[in-house]
Amino acid sequence: MRAATTRSRRIILRLIARGVVLLVLALIGPKSETPPAYAQPGRHPAPDGNVGVGVLGLFHPREFELSATTGQALVLQGGGETVILEKSSGIGSATMQFSGAQVLVNAGARRLKAPSLAVSGRKNEPVDFTLAIPGKITRQYHGTLQIEASGSNLLAVLTLDLETAVASVVAAESSAGTPVEALKAQAIATRSYLVSGRGRHHDFDFCDTTHCQFLRNPPAPGSIVAQAVDATRSLLLEYNSHAFPAMYTNSCSGHTRTPADLGLSAGTYPYYSVACEYCRLHPMRWRTRISVRDATSLRSSDESSRLRIDRRMGWSTIPSNSFSATKDGDQVVMSGTGRGHGIGLCQSGARALAERGASFRDILSHYYPNTSVVPWRN
C-alpha cells in the first residue's frame, strides 16, 4: 500500500513539473519565433489579417530602388544597423543590390550590408513607399517590406493588411468603367482567394502575377474601387461552411468551365459550368500562330499544356482553352474565344450583369452556385 502511494506521489509531481514547463513555453513562445517586422520573409506565414506577396519577382531583380513618399519616413534595418529615408532630410531614396549572399544598400553617404533588410515606418507600422527596378518598372505600395538575397537575385516580399491587398488586386484586375456591383463581386471573390489560398509559394503566400493574382498600386481613397471594397469589407464566399479560394477569369466562351474539364483538381469547391449570356453573344475572339511541335503538345482539356506554352512564348499566345487548330505549312493557326481558364466568375459577364441591374449577390450566386456570402470568421 505504501509503495503504491509513493508511486502515485511521484506521478503527480512529474505531471506538476511538466505543467510548469509547458506554462513557461507558452509564455515565452517557441525559440524559432521572431518579431513579424524582422522575420525572414516567407519562412512563416503573414500574421492573421495580413497577406505576404512576393513582388516584382517576374523580373528576377538584382537591384531595387526604394523611395519614401512625401511626408513619410522609411526605416531600413539590417545587420544591426539602421538607415532612415525621408525626403525632408535630403536622403529620400536608396539603392539595394545583390552582393553575393547579401543585400548591399547605398543611401547617400550611408552604406549597409546584410543578408536581409526590413523596411517599415518609425514604429514598425505599414507605410507608403515606391519600389522600382531601374529602367524596367516602378510601383507604389502600402505595407512593410522584406528584401533578401535569394539564389542569384533579390527577393522582395510585401506584407500588407487584407483589405489593402483586396483593393490593390481589384484595381489591377478590373477595367475602367466597371460598375460598382461587379467590383463588389470581384472584391468578395478576391478576398476569399486571399483568405483561404495562402501558401502558394515557399517564401510567401502569393505572387503578383497571373499565377496567383495581379497586385498593383492601391486605389486612391474615395475611388469606385475603394468604395466597392469598403462596402464589402470582411465578406467572403463559403461552400459547406468553409471559405474557398475563388477562381475567376477575364472572359469565358459562353459558359464557364469546371476544374475537371481542364484536368485540374476540384479542391474544396467543385465549381459548375454555368451559362454566360454576354460571352455567348459577344465572344472575345483571338487568333495566333504556333509551331506544329507546340500544337501537338496542346490540348483544350489540359490547362497545364496551355500554361507551359504561354510561360515560354507570352501570355497572349494561347489566351484560353476554347480553340480550334488549322495547319498552314510548317505552322498551325490557332483560333479561339475567351481569355483565361474560364473557371468561376467571368469578369466580362459580371460587368454585363451589373450593367443590367444585377447586385453583387446575384452575380456571385450565378457564377458560384450553392455558395453563401458571409463575414470572415478569423
For 44-85, the pLDDT digits (tens) are 345 567 999 999 998 999 999 999 999 999 999 999 999 999
In a domain, 4, yes or no: no
Joined together, the cell numbers standing for residue 244 give 474557398
In a domain, 46, yes or no: no
Mean pLDDT along residues 213-224: 88
Instruction: Let me know: does 191 contact 232? Beta carbons within 8 Å.
Output: yes
In a domain, 234, yes or no: yes
Mean pLDDT along residues 208-237: 90
pLDDT for 46: 56
Question: Which of 114, 129, 151 is the endpoint of a domain?
Answer: 151
Question: Same domain for 87 and 115?
Answer: yes
Cα separations (Å) of 108 from 62, 92, 149, 175? 20, 9, 22, 40
Reference 268, options 345, 371, 151; nearest CA is 371
Q: What is the mean pLDDT of the chain?
A: 86
Question: Same domain for 230 and 297?
Answer: no
Beta-carbon contacts of residue 153 (< 8 Å; ≥ 6 apart): 57, 60, 61, 62, 98
Question: Same domain for 215 and 350?
Answer: yes
Q: How far apart are CA 193 and CA 197, in angstroms?
A: 5
Question: Same domain for 350 and 330?
Answer: no
Question: Same domain for 354 and 205?
Answer: yes
Asked whether the whole model's pTM tops 0.85, one would answer no
Q: How far apart are CA 344 and CA 143, in angstroms?
A: 30
pLDDT for 30: 30
Question: Same domain for 293 and 327?
Answer: yes
Instruction: Let me know: does 324 contact 227? Beta carbons within 8 Å.
Output: no
Is the pLDDT at 264 greater than 90? The verdict is no
Q: Residues 113-170: pLDDT tens digits?
A: 999 999 999 999 999 999 999 999 999 999 999 999 999 999 999 999 999 999 999 9
Instruction: Let me know: does 113 contact 81? Beta carbons within 8 Å.
Output: no
Joined together, the cell numbers standing for residue 234 give 470582411
What is the band of 12 on the pLDDT scale with cuts at 50, 70, 90? very low
In a domain, 269, yes or no: no
Q: How far apart are CA 339 and CA 316, in angstroms?
A: 9
In a domain, 77, yes or no: yes
In sequence order, what DSSP letters do the residues of 184-199 get, joined into one string?
HHHHHHHHHHHHH---
Q: How far apart are CA 231 and CA 211, in angstroms?
A: 27
Question: Same domain for 229 and 359?
Answer: yes
Instruction: Count CB-CB contacts under 10 A for residue 273.
Output: 14
Question: Same domain for 209 and 355?
Answer: yes
Question: Same domain for 147 and 125?
Answer: yes
Instruction: Let me know: does 185 contact 344? Beta carbons within 8 Å.
Output: no
Q: How far apart are CA 349 and CA 185, in angstroms?
A: 12
Range of the domain at 331: 285-337
Q: Residues 301-359: pLDDT tens digits?
A: 888 889 889 888 988 899 999 999 999 999 999 999 999 999 999 999 999 999 999 99
Question: Same domain for 147 and 213?
Answer: no
Question: Same domain for 310 and 176?
Answer: no
The residues pairing with 66 across neighbouring beta strands, listed in sequence order, are 94, 131
Question: Same domain for 220 and 351?
Answer: yes
By the 10 Å C-beta count (0-12 exposed, 13-18 middle, 19+ buried), 168 is classed as buried
Beta-carbon contacts of residue 43 (< 8 Å; ≥ 6 apart): 203
Is the pLDDT at 1 greater than 70? The verdict is no
Number of domains in the chain: 3
